[in-house]
């Protein structure tokens, strides 16, 4: 996550400010047109998003050189329909590297119509991502199967994994050398403000998930006077960007994996693996060891198995599918369900190659990662001793940062006392962004309100079926109301029940959750 000094088109900003109506509201359409900067929106409707519009916006590659090389951001919009207009609501799904165009339509449809209709809901593919150009793709096929075992149990395996990480960083340097110094969080924040200016809005509202919470807080730090409302869901700890945050994740993902094992034990009637979670977990590691020697279908080795089960740490709606694949192998040795689960949850396609290229470019540029591999080795073996499930897989995913070709920046101090109330949402058992992140940001953003999903383990919890959480979200976006408590938490909601096995009736509550988590993706 990053930051870079930037100069925006002063004429546009001044014109927007002069055209503004009441404080916090956006200018009229006529006033916006007067800026001659608004994107040219065109219909790009889909069957389930009939009012969706798309546009593009040119922004400087280097915001410190606004007259220099330009890049293009892809935008989407669901326009407001209500007489009361509350301005643009920018949305971001996280990552870094997450595609944001489809999120606008989802948010507009998942919010209560009375609330969504008052906003222009704006999605965007951040610089380097998806339909924005140039789109990064450092090394297509980097995740082709079968990769070396993630656990470096010997020097040969460690060398193979190190070579993969180093070669990816070198490929990025060779293919995208002139772009990489400008792929970072603060450059994306400058882009967001360019979007605001082009829309003719003196202020924006913002709704970000996961990495999008850090993106939002950095925007708020640079432009506090331009924040109208801000919602942050599943919150990054800004004090650990990014090396420490990844080590903290390892412990949380291990706990979440054990929660899956306990759920399988609870549903022994469906899966037949026994009622002892520890024995089921041991059986899972037996499966991992077997696949390390003989990959399922020639495709799913130990590392790919971890990739397949990682999404279960993000969203328990995937548990029934993962459990069925695991049980098929454990009871009969059948591997086809594992291969199918890998294809559905773990395999990386061209979109994933792009997402990973941006993920590494932002994370490696944003922070002072260790250059000495001995430090990585020591820290990750220490974490592995406590949390074997994903520690080394996560380490290799981020290892290109040890060899990254650009100068590294430092994290932004997001401490802020200049904002209107910000609404925070955090699940107590979130693995990707552990609970401490929400607690820390609550202390750093004065007047923020923290809503906690007690006992929840999913990542991305609003607009995912929990009506208690969504009621706080709707009230805030509707009229700015935030809950106020007397302790460290302002409001609590109970977590939704865990899912049922696939042969049982699954309630409709999973529909929004599955759609959302398909957009949020993993690792961010």
Sequential DSSP letters for 279-328: HHHHHHHHHHHHHHHS-BTTTB-HHHHHHHHHHHHH-GGGHHHHHHHHHH
- The answer to whether the CB of 431 falls within 8 A of the CB of 457 is yes
What is the pLDDT at residue 511? 59
Residue 318 CA to residue 308 CA, distance in Å, equals 10
Q: Which residue has the tokens 């962004």?
A: 433
pTM of the model: 0.92
- Residue 36 in this model has a pLDDT that exceeds 80: no
Annotate 182-196 with b (16+ C-beta within 10 A) or e (fewer): bbbbbbbbbbbbbbb
Establish whether 459 is a catalytic residue: yes
Average pLDDT, the chain: 92
Mean pLDDT of the region 43-47: 93
Q: Which residue has the tokens 């922070």?
A: 367
Residue 439 CA to residue 121 CA, distance in Å, equals 28
Active-site residue identified among 142, 176, 459, 517: 459
Establish whether 379 is a catalytic residue: no
Active-site residue identified among 210, 234, 357, 449: 210
- The answer to whether the CB of 262 falls within 8 A of the CB of 277 is yes
Local confidence band at 16 (pLDDT 50, 70, 90 cut-offs): very low
Retrieve residue 388's tokens.
């074997």
Closest to 324 measured CA to CA, from 188, 500, 159: 500
What is the pLDDT at residue 29? 43
- Residue 119 in this model has a pLDDT that exceeds 80: yes
Closest to 93 measured CA to CA, from 462, 381, 388: 462
Dihedral (CA of 56, 135, 205, 475) sign? positive
DSSP 8-state class, residue 403: G
Q: What is the pLDDT of residues 71-93, one digit of tens each?
A: 999 999 999 999 999 999 999 99
DSSP 8-state class, residue 494: E
- Residue 9 in this model has a pLDDT that exceeds 60: no
Higher pLDDT, 9 or 284: 284
What is the pLDDT at residue 514? 85
Listed in sequence order, the residues at least 6 apart from 214 whose beta carbon sits closer than 8 Å to its beta carbon are: 1, 185, 236, 238, 241, 414
Local confidence band at 513 (pLDDT 50, 70, 90 cut-offs): confident
Active-site residue identified among 237, 254, 430, 490: 430
């Amino acid at each position: 996550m990053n930051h870079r000094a930037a100069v925006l088109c002063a004429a546009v900003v001044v014109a927007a400010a002069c055209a503004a109506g009441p404080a916090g509201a956006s200018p009229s359409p006529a006033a916006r047109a007067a800026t001659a900067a608004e994107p040219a929106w065109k219909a790009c409707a889909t069957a389930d998003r009939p009012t969706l519009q798309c546009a593009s916006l040119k922004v400087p590659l280097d915001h410190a050189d606004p007259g220099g090389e330009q890049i293009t951001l892809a935008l989407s919009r669901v326009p407001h329909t209500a007489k009361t207009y509350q301005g643009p609501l920018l949305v971001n799904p996280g990552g870094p590297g997450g595609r944001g165009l489809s999120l606008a339509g989802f948010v507009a449809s998942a919010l209560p119509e009375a609330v969504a209709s008052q906003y222009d809901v704006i999605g965007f593919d951040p610089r380097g991502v998806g339909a924005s150009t140039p789109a990064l793709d450092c090394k297509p096929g980097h995740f082709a199967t079968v990769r070396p075992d993630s656990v470096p149990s010997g020097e040969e395996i460690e060398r193979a994994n190190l070579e993969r990480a180093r070669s990816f960083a070198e490929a990025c340097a060779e293919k995208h050398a002139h772009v990489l110094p400008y792929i970072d969080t603060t450059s994306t924040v400058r882009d967001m403000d360019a979007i605001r200016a082009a829309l003719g809005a003196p202020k924006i509202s913002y709704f970000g998930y996961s990495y999008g919470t850090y993106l939002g807080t950095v925007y708020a730090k640079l432009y506090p006077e331009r924040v109208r409302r801000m919602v942050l869901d599943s919150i990054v700890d800004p004090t650990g960007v990014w090396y420490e945050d990844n080590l903290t994740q390892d412990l949380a993902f291990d706990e979440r994996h054990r929660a899956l094992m306990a759920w399988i034990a609870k549903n022994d009637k469906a899966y037949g693996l026994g009622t002892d979670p520890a024995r089921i977990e041991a059986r899972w590691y037996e499966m991992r060891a077997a696949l390390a020697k003989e990959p399922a279908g020639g495709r799913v080795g130990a590392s790919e198995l971890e990739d397949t089960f990682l999404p279960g740490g993000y969203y328990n709606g995937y548990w029934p599918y993962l459990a069925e694949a695991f049980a098929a192998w454990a009871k009969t040795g059948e591997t086809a369900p594992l291969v199918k689960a890998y294809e559905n949850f773990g395999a990386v396609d061209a979109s994933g190659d792009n997402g990973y290229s941006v993920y590494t470019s932002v994370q490696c540029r944003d922070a002072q990662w260790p250059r000495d591999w001995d430090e990585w080795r020591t820290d990750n073996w220490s974490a592995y001793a406590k949390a074997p499930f994903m520690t080394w897989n996560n380490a290799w995913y981020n290892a290109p940062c040890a060899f990254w070709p650009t100068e590294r920046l430092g994290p932004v101090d997001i401490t802020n006392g200049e904002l209107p109330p910000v609404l925070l949402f955090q699940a107590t058992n979130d693995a990707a962004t552990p609970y401490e992140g929400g607690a820390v940001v609550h202390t750093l953003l004065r007047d923020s309100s923290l809503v906690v999903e007690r006992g929840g383990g999913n990542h991305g919890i609003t607009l995912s079926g929990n009506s208690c959480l969504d009621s706080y979200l709707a009230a805030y976006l509707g009229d700015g109301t935030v809950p106020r408590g007397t302790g460290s938490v302002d409001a609590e909601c109970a977590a939704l029940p865990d899912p049922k096995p696939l042969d049982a009736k699954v309630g409709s509550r999973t529909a929004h959750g599955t759609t959302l988590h398909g957009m949020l993706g993993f690792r961010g």
